[in-house]
Amino acid sequence: MDFQQHGYRATKPRARASPPSGGPLLFDDTSSGPPPMNRGQDPGVGNLFADPMASAAMMYGSSLANQGKDIVNKEINRFMSVNKLKYFFAVDTRYVMKKLLLLMFPYTHQDWEVRYHRDTPLTPRHDVNAPDLYIPTMAFITYILLAGMALGIQKRFSPEVLGLCASTALVWIIIEVLVMLLSLYLLTVHTDLSTFDLVAYSGYKYVGMILTVLCGLLFGSDGYFAALAWSSCALMFFIVRSLKMKILSSFSADSMGVGTSAKPHFRLYITFALAAFQPIIIYWLTAHLVR
Amino acid sequence: MAKRISAALTLTNIQPYLLFAMSGFDNTDFFQSSYSVDDQNQGGYGYSDPNDPYSKQYEYSQPMGYSAPPGMMQPQQPYMGQIYQPTPAFTPVSPQSMYGSSFEDEPPLLEELGINFDHIWQKTLTVLHPLKAADGSIMNETDLAGPMVFCLAFGATLLLTGKIQFGYVYGISAIGCLGMYCLLNLMSMTGVSFGCVASVLGYCLLPMITLSSFGVLFSLQGMLGMILTATIIGWCSFSASKIFISALAMDGQQLLVAYPCALLYGVFALISVF
């Protein structure tokens, strides 16, 4: 039995592993890995592989495909760990609703502490204070589409402008994250803020931007400025309260060097600078859309 | 005792050889047995060492090996038969059918191409009834034939209104599928394959075809057109998210999956309206 299974396993690249759930399986999932082969046409198998060269070539091809997939996965894992990224996408509808409400009206929220569970932070599903990447990503894409629509309404649309808008917004996110990382590094602030956390917090402003653009399109210039003021204040409050816990509270950990008294001031400056940057960038990226 | 056990094990090793010997020049079995032998040589199940005495034993016990441990062989037969042949492996197939591909033994063309009309129809019905609960197992087979037909139909209805935008349709669907594939892989516990995503998104393009065919009859830029567009986008994304949710067992995330689908179908609607 064991040897037979081993013999089967040697031919496994030819006969694909079965898909997860049952049902009348006539055709296999043709997308994952080896070239398509149907188990239903078993006499056909003999026909296809009557020529050993063809079968050897197909085996070689499928092994090449697998190797290619492995190489891609390895390269991606060198830059970022997909598991860590998955943490930021473990969201559900309730969390997204609560977070959106929080972004627009953070003044009544009491507890801003990120909750932990045995040294690992809780996933966004279970903790509304945890940062996630679903909202920033969706907000970014919505912003690009909304910009396209706004330009289309004003008859200024062309696909190049859309690409320009998208790349501008992306570059501004990258600049902001890099500046934050640099300043945190230079001031030797030891936080547990990873790059993805910073991207998340930097991407939350797109929610405010979408609201601002919508109000500007619906209610004209007055609506635009009112929405700009509201979302800027809300976002500043949100950023300061969220990052205060993470940046300012960690000074007790590195109490080794002298001059710890100077540290809290710099951290405060960083937090407020980041908060003050938000309205500027919101105005910069949306003003040309509602002119 | 150990010798008997190893003898029995060797017999199972060389069983494919027995098949080969018994059933004549059978190409399929020959192919199988060559693999097993390679495997055994690599695995080194002690075959190489006691080669001589056991080969003698093999020759001696050849007729016994055929019939003696039927209990051991029979469970293996249907295993091999399931994979390589529909019939048990011991029925010797004539060499001509293996080589010359006789016409009667070929599977029907549709089955060989992988197009199963019944499943296509079932999936289409699932899309057309958004309020009915979806069966998660229908998405195990990824067939891109249906989505291809729907994309072509969409482009054709756009053509009827004078917009020759096949390139945009294909480009947006490719980028949208890639984006949804990345997102769903990050959001779900089990991964999802690209073909599955492309297949589901392509099937749920069907209501968009009705939108663009309405666009042939009257302009969609009025209030009625806006309402119709919004309804159809909602319908498409609701069906797509329903199928994804049931196929990937994601709970409490239907709206979260529906939103990116709505963005994607919104772009398609933008093409058909403007």
Query: DSSP states of A95-125 as a string?
Result: HHHHHHHHHH-GGG----PPPEETTEEPPTT
pLDDT of the residue at B8: 59
Higher-pLDDT residue of B134, B243: B243
**How sure is the predictor about B86, in pLDDT bands with cuts at 50, 70 and 90?**
low
B113 to chain A: closest CA residue: A38
Element (H, E) at A39: none
Give dist(CA A27, CA B85) in Å, integer.
Answer: 16
Distance (Å) from the alpha carbon of B271 to chain A's nearest alpha carbon: 12
Q: Where does the pLDDT of residue B11 fall: very low under 50, low under 70, confident under 90, or very high at 90 and above?
A: low
Residue B107 CA to its chain's centroid (Å): 17
pLDDT at residue B3 in the model: 64
- Report the pLDDT value the prediction gives residue A6, as an integer from 0 to 100: 45
Looking at residue A143, its pLDDT comes to: 92
Q: Is A220 contained in some domain?
A: yes
pLDDT of residue A174: 92
Q: Any idea which residue has 């204040």 for tokens?
A: A233
- d(CA A200, CA A245) in angstroms, rounded, equals 16
* Cα distance from N-terminal residue to C-terminal residue, chain B: 83
Whether the CB-CB separation of A206 and A144 falls below 8 Å is answered with no
ipTM tops the 0.85 cut: no
pLDDT, mean of residues B201-206: 88
* Placement of tokens 């058909």 in the chain: B272
The DSSP annotation for chain B comes to -HHHHHHHHHHHHTHHHHHHHHT-S-HHHHHHHHHHHHHHHHHT-S-STTHHHHHHHHHHTHHHHHHS-HHHHTTHHHHHHHHH-SS-TTSPPPHHHHHS--GGGSPPHHHHHT--HHHHHHHHHHHH-TTSPPPGGGGGS---HHHHHHHHHHHHHHHHTT---HHHHHHHHHHHHHHHHHHHHHHSSS---HHHHHHHHHHTTHHHHHHHHHHHHS-TTSHHHHHHHHHHHHHHHHHHHHHHHHHHT--S-HHHHHHHHHHHHHHHHHHHH-
Q: What is the DSSP letter of A19?
A: P
Residues of A in contact with B266 (CB under 8 A): 145
What pLDDT does A228 receive? 93
Of all residues in chain B, the one with the smallest CA distance to A83 is B186
- A166 vs A146, A169, B180, B235, CA distance in Å? 11, 5, 18, 28
For residue A33, being part of any structural domain is answered with: no
Contact status of B57 with chain A (Cβ, < 8 Å): no
Of B163, B160, B201, residue with least CA distance to B180: B201
Interatomic CA distance for residues A243 and A274, integer angstroms: 10
Work out how many domains chain A is built from and give that number. Answer: 1
Whether B127 and B239 have beta carbons less than 8 Å apart is answered as yes
Q: Does B103 touch chain A (CB under 8 A)?
A: no
Q: How far apart are CA B117 and CA B156, in angstroms?
A: 22
Please count the residues of chain A: 291
CB contact under 8 A, B142 and A30: yes
Residues of chain A with pLDDT under 70: 1-50, 248-263
Interface contact A15-B83, CB threshold 8 A: yes
How many angstroms separate the CA atoms of B232 and B265, rounded?
Answer: 9
Residue B260 touches chain A, beta carbons under 8 Å:
yes
- Is B209:B153 a contact under the CB 8 Å cutoff? yes
- Average pLDDT rounded to a whole number, residues B80-106: 54
Q: CA neighbours within 13 Å on the CB side: how many for A252?
A: 3
Q: Would you say residue A4 lies in a domain? A: no
The residue among B109, B112, B265 with the most chain A CBs within 10 A of its CB, best to mutate, is B112
Nearest residue of A to residue B195 by CA position?
A31
Q: Tell if the CB–CB gap between A4 and B28 is shorter than 8 Å.
A: no
Q: State the nearest Cα–Cα gap between A90 and chain B, in angstroms.
A: 6
User: Chain B residues with CB inside 8 Å of A28's CB?
Assistant: 141
Q: Residue A155 belongs to what domain range?
A: 130-289
What's the CA gap between A289 and A212, in Å, rounded?
Answer: 10
CB contact under 8 A, A92 and B252: yes
Chain B stretch 146-165, residues whose beta carbon is closer than 8 A to a beta carbon of chain A = none
Query: Hey, which residues does A121 pair with through a beta bridge?
Result: A116
User: Is residue B69 scored above 60 in pLDDT?
Assistant: no
Q: What is the pTM of this model?
A: 0.66
The residue with greater pLDDT, B179 or B120, is: B179
Percent of the residues in chain B that have a pLDDT greater than 70, as a whole number: 58
**Interatomic CA distance for residues B44 and A1, integer angstroms:** 16
Give contacts of B 180-219 with A, CB under 8 A.
Answer: 183, 186-187, 190, 193-196, 198
Q: In this complex, is the C-beta atom of B109 within 8 Å of any C-beta atom belonging to chain A?
A: no
How close B260 gets to chain A, by Cα (Å)? 7
Q: Does B67 touch chain A (CB under 8 A)?
A: no
Region of poorest pLDDT, from A42-56, B67-81, B172-186: B67-81
- Best residue of A14, A29, A49 to probe chain B, by most B CBs closer than 10 Å: A29
Inside any domain, residue A23: no
- B87 pLDDT more than 60: no
Kindly report the number of other CB atoms within 10 A of residue B134's CB atom.
20
DSSP 8-state symbol, A12: T
**In-domain check, residue A145:** yes
Instruction: Return d(Cα A161, Cα A167) in angstroms, integer.
Output: 10
Point out which residues pair with A117 in neighbouring strands.
A120
| Of residues B251, B271, B261, the one with CA closest to residue B130 | B261
Listing DSSP states for A184-225 in one string gives HHHTT------HHHHHHHHHTHHHHHHHHHHHHHHHHHHHHH
Q: Using a CB-CB distance cutoff of 8 angstroms, which residues of chain A are in contact with residue B270?
A: 149
Q: How far apart are CA A194 and CA A270, in angstroms?
A: 16
Over residues B105-113, the mean pLDDT reads 72
Cβ–Cβ < 8 Å for B48, B41: yes
To the nearest whole angstrom, how far is the Cα of B75 from the nearest Cα of chain A?
9
Burial call B173-210: b when 16+ CB within 10 Å, e when fewer:
beebbebbbebbbbbbeeebbbbbbbbbbbbbbbbbbe
Q: Is B119 on the interface with A (CB under 8 A)?
A: yes
Residue type at position B37: V
Q: Average pLDDT, stretch B153-158?
A: 88
Q: With an 8 Å Cβ cutoff, are B12 and A44 in contact? A: no
Residue type, position B118, single letter: D
Cross-chain Cβ contact A4/B79 below 8 Å: yes
Whether residues A23 and B140 touch (CB distance < 8 A) is answered with yes
pLDDT at B64: 46
Of B38, B39, B141, the CB nearest to A27: B141
Bigger pLDDT: A224 vs B252: A224
CA distance B106 to chain A (A): 6
